[in-house]
Chains A and B, each alone.
Chain A
Amino acid sequence: MGALAAGPLSACGSGGGGRTTLRFYQSKPEVIGYFDENIIAPFNQSQSDIVVTHDATSSLVASLVREAPHDLVCNNYNLEPGTFVARDVLTDLGDLPEAEQIRPDVQELVGQYATPERASHVLPYSITAAGVIYNVPLFDEHGVEVPTTWSELIDACETFQSADITPFYMTFADPWTIQQGLFDYVGGGMLDVAQFYSELEAAGTDGGTTSSVSFRDRFDPVVAKMLELVPYTNPDAASRSYEDGNTAFARGDGAMYLQGPWAIGQIAAANPDLEVGTFPLPATDDPADLKARVNLDLALWIPKGAANPEAARTFLSYLMTPEVMHTYNADNLAISPVEDAPEVEDERIARLGAYVQDGAFYQGPGTYIPTAIPVGNYLQTLVLSRNGDEFLRTLDNDWNRLAQRTLV
């Protein structure tokens, strides 16, 4: 079927001056223009075999349903593309020389959302590291050092609170912000997240029950610490959205903000003069436990039904040349996933970047939970009701129910 489809399509492409038309998908809103101008246009000019066309709008799932997938995809890697790997609709890229340059501990992140033995079906391209964004002038003004332990963090909160400054600006109206921030940072800072979920997977239909591995069992101390931080937030957090949070933090309404690097640009847009920095949220009393929350912000894959897999591999190699990849990452507050990646220079994310390069990172515990379980909404209930037992019980029951019906 693939070969049949490839025939007419590539013939179509070669109609325009003998060049293959490559359908390239990339939809991260902030860098669509960057890709067009800095990557695709120079590539199209540099050779005469391939013309790359950039698709930033269609649905990846729909293209798979129609059995007309893109030739090459460069997009965020999370649980959804993880199911592409699990359902085995992508090709193995492990034989490419570029695959060998990638750090094994980063490549491993792919398998954590899917089938570990097919981890090489997706190649990491750009890592973003998230932690606490802090207001540098406020920290200096009140003599607060960047905390490296939980007790130092609580001390910092107390200092700010007694000075009538909101320690944490939070935005509970947008459930994903609670998940990405409070839940992921405290959970990732305290537990071995990947280990927990692989045990949960291994438990199969027993996962989430008290007799086996469960959220109740492992996340109880996590939830307790999350709730300990809730009193240090702005009183109107329940009705504030992500956009509200960015403008408020830019205005100086809060010393710390639990968001990733994507918010830094928004904050700078609202107040270009505010100096911000980042640090990993300390969740234990041992500074050696400090880790950054990472996300494969961009990763590359070639679907099995791609019309032009060879051309896709050529463009993939171009994307992964050090000049293209390192320039992209340096320009977009991100980190390259390869062994000899340059050090992060941007001061705003330098501290988190160093943790990533030392291998101290995790993928957020919230990101392992399928969207069939609305964990963000459950977290919203948790921070409003402060009932930790109910939250953990709901999560366990949902996980178990999902396992019962998907593992038949």
Chain B
Amino acid sequence: MTATSEAATTSRVAAPSADQGRRKVDPTYLVMLLPPVVLFTIFITLPGIVGMFYSITDYAGYGDWKFIGLTNYQAIFSDPRILGAYTFTIGFSFVTVILVNAVALALAIGLNAKIKFKKGLRGTFVLPMVISGIVIAYVFNYLFSTSLPTIAAALGIDALAGSILANPSLAWIGVVIVTAWQAVPGAMIIYLAGLLAIPTDVYEAADVDGASSWRKFTAITLPLMVGYVVINTILGFKNFLNAYDIIVGLTNGGPGTSTFSIAMTIFTGFTSGDYAYQMANAVLFFIVTIAISLFQLELIRRRGVSL
């Protein structure tokens, strides 16, 4: 906290002299900045605005259309399938973020310790990250639907003899496991980088004071890693709220509609002539995502962590 307010003061003091610098902006910055701004505007901002416009029409993506006001938005709030998708996606993201962070942190600490084959193990644990989500999903689909039940049946465990993906109240667990399996390496790499940045002398001092490993973890590692936890949480939420490919390959939204994500419902608009309605859904999803991001940024600001 003190660090940020100090920085703020210095920048305020430095402000008057910045006047001079403003007149001669290095053209290199313009050259670097202009293409991304233009590309972002053409491919992200403009289509976004066009989509928002069509969300108040009955457009199918082609052919005739007319304005229908806020009918699409009103309909969303009484559509149990869309509301169900929001409940599922947000709940799923929440659980997955916690699971991914816990596992990734544990793995990072383990792989940072003095163990044999450290490099090889790190490489192995990163593998899931480089495989495409849809491929992972199909492989796990086979494991959950065929291999696991066969093993469970052979061992006489009746509770696991059916596929969890075929059980409407358990299928989400399968989705969480597979998503986490793919997302853990990315988070783990960030944590490893964080652990390497902690100076070793703090630990040495703790050793001199006779602190236990657990005490060192809670009093040194965790507080110094808070910034990385925040980064992983934000990146995780961003990815999991957009969940699509793994769910399509694993359950395709089923059984029933129990694992339908928001991105999947939006996508149905393209094939059903329901374009405008799902555009309204997309606008709503955009607002929800912005709200969640602002909330997270507020958390960061309060904790005084810089990104």
Q: Interface residues, chain A, CB within 8 Å of chain B?
A: 61, 64-65, 67, 79-80, 83-84, 87-89, 172-173, 175, 236, 238-241, 370-372, 374, 377-378, 380-381, 384-385, 397-398, 401, 404-406, 408
Q: Interface residues, chain B, CB within 8 Å of chain A?
A: 58, 60-64, 68, 71-72, 74-75, 78-81, 144-146, 149, 162-163, 165-168, 252-257, 260, 268-274, 277
Pair A65/B277 contact, Cβ less than 8 Å: no
Task: Kindly identify which residue among B60, B144, B256, B270 contacts A380, using a CB–CB cutoff of 8 Å.
Answer: B256
Pair B255/A381 contact, Cβ less than 8 Å: yes
CB closest chain-B residue, reference A235: B162
- Shortest distance from the beta carbon of A248 to any chain B beta carbon, whole Å: 12
Pair A378/B256 contact, Cβ less than 8 Å: yes
CB closest chain-A residue, reference B270: A61
Pair A377/B273 contact, Cβ less than 8 Å: no
Q: Give A404 to B78 CA distance when docked, in angstroms.
A: 11
Q: Give A384 to B254 CA distance when docked, in angstroms.
A: 11
Task: Kindly identify which residue among B60, B68, B271 contacts A408, using a CB–CB cutoff of 8 Å.
Answer: B68
- Measured between beta carbons, the chain A residues less than 8 angstroms from B78 are 401
Interface centre among B162, B167, B271 (most CB of A within 10 A): B271
- Shortest distance from the beta carbon of A92 to any chain B beta carbon, whole Å: 16
Task: Kindly identify which residue among B60, B71, B256, B270 contacts A377, using a CB–CB cutoff of 8 Å.
Answer: B256
The verdict on A371 contacting B165 (CB below 8 Å), with A65-B62, A378-B257, A401-B78 known, is no
Q: Give A293 to B147 CA distance when docked, in angstroms.
A: 36
Task: Kindly identify which residue among B81, B166, B270, B277 contacts A239, using a CB–CB cutoff of 8 Å.
Answer: B166
CB closest chain-B residue, reference A378: B256
Interface centre among B61, B269, B272 (most CB of A within 10 A): B272
Q: Give A384 to B146 CA distance when docked, in angstroms.
A: 18
Pair A406/B64 contact, Cβ less than 8 Å: no
The verdict on A239 contacting B62 (CB below 8 Å), with A378-B256, A405-B75 known, is no
- Measured between beta carbons, the chain B residues less than 8 angstroms from A241 are 145
Q: Give A246 to B163 CA distance when docked, in angstroms.
A: 19
Pair B256/A238 contact, Cβ less than 8 Å: no
Pair B63/A89 contact, Cβ less than 8 Å: yes
- Measured between beta carbons, the chain A residues less than 8 angstroms from B80 are 397
The verdict on A404 contacting B81 (CB below 8 Å), with A173-B166, A370-B273, A380-B255 known, is no
- Shortest distance from the beta carbon of B145 to any chain A beta carbon, whole Å: 4
CB closest chain-A residue, reference B269: A372
- Measured between beta carbons, the chain B residues less than 8 angstroms from A79 are 272
Pair A371/B166 contact, Cβ less than 8 Å: no
Q: Give A401 to B71 CA distance when docked, in angstroms.
A: 11
Pair A64/B168 contact, Cβ less than 8 Å: no
- Measured between beta carbons, the chain B residues less than 8 angstroms from A371 are 268, 271-272, 274
Pair A405/B60 contact, Cβ less than 8 Å: no
- Shortest distance from the beta carbon of A70 to any chain B beta carbon, whole Å: 13
Q: Give A98 to B165 CA distance when docked, in angstroms.
A: 50
- Shortest distance from the beta carbon of A196 to any chain B beta carbon, whole Å: 20
Q: List 13 A-B contacts (CB under 8 A).
A: A83-B60, A88-B64, A172-B255, A173-B165, A175-B254, A238-B166, A238-B255, A239-B144, A240-B145, A374-B268, A384-B168, A385-B168, A404-B75
Interface centre among A79, A241, A405 (most CB of B within 10 A): A405
Q: Give A378 to B255 CA distance when docked, in angstroms.
A: 9
Q: Give A299 to B247 CA distance when docked, in angstroms.
A: 33
Pair A239/B75 contact, Cβ less than 8 Å: no
Please list the 10 inter-chain residue pairs (A to B) with the smallest Cβ-Cβ separation, ordered nearest first: A87-B63, A381-B256, A239-B163, A238-B166, A64-B62, A371-B272, A83-B273, A405-B75, A239-B145, A239-B166
Q: Give A406 to B278 CA distance when docked, in angstroms.
A: 13
Pair A80/B254 contact, Cβ less than 8 Å: no
- Shortest distance from the beta carbon of B193 to any chain A beta carbon, whole Å: 41
- Measured between beta carbons, the chain B residues less than 8 angstroms from A401 are 75, 78-79
18 further A-B contacts with Cβ under 8 Å, apart from A79-B272, A239-B145, A377-B257, are A80-B273, A172-B166, A172-B255, A238-B167, A239-B162, A239-B165, A240-B145, A370-B274, A371-B268, A371-B271, A374-B260, A377-B253, A377-B254, A377-B255, A378-B256, A380-B255, A380-B256, A381-B168
Interface centre among B60, B149, B260 (most CB of A within 10 A): B60
Pair B165/A88 contact, Cβ less than 8 Å: no
Q: Give A278 to B59 CA distance when docked, in angstroms.
A: 42
- Shortest distance from the beta carbon of A308 to any chain B beta carbon, whole Å: 20
Q: Give A288 to B223 CA distance when docked, in angstroms.
A: 78
CB closest chain-A residue, reference B161: A236
Task: Kindly identify which residue among A80, A385, A405 contacts B272, using a CB–CB cutoff of 8 Å.
Answer: A80
- Measured between beta carbons, the chain A residues less than 8 angstroms from B273 are 80, 83, 87, 370
CB closest chain-B residue, reference A404: B75
- Measured between beta carbons, the chain A residues less than 8 angstroms from B145 are 173, 239-241
Task: Kindly identify which residue among A377, A378, A405 contacts B277, using a CB–CB cutoff of 8 Å.
Answer: A405
CB closest chain-A residue, reference B64: A87
CB closest chain-A residue, reference B253: A377
Q: Give A381 to B62 CA distance when docked, in angstroms.
A: 34
- Shortest distance from the beta carbon of B274 to any chain A beta carbon, whole Å: 4
Pair A406/B58 contact, Cβ less than 8 Å: yes
Pair A372/B256 contact, Cβ less than 8 Å: no
Q: Give A83 to B78 CA distance when docked, in angstroms.
A: 25
Interface centre among A61, A239, A385 (most CB of B within 10 A): A239
Pair A374/B58 contact, Cβ less than 8 Å: no
- Measured between beta carbons, the chain A residues less than 8 angstroms from B272 are 79-80, 370-372
- Shortest distance from the beta carbon of A97 to any chain B beta carbon, whole Å: 29
Q: Give A372 to B270 CA distance when docked, in angstroms.
A: 10
The verdict on A236 contacting B149 (CB below 8 Å), with A374-B81, A377-B254, A405-B71 known, is yes
CB closest chain-A residue, reference B257: A377
- Measured between beta carbons, the chain B residues less than 8 angstroms from A370 are 272-274
Q: Give A105 to B260 CA distance when docked, in angstroms.
A: 39
Pair A61/B61 contact, Cβ less than 8 Å: yes
Task: Kindly identify which residue among B64, B68, B162 contacts A238, using a CB–CB cutoff of 8 Å.
Answer: B162
- Measured between beta carbons, the chain B residues less than 8 angstroms from A172 are 166, 255
CB closest chain-A residue, reference B75: A405
Interface centre among B162, B252, B253, B255 (most CB of A within 10 A): B255
Pair B256/A61 contact, Cβ less than 8 Å: no
Q: Give A406 to B255 CA distance when docked, in angstroms.
A: 28
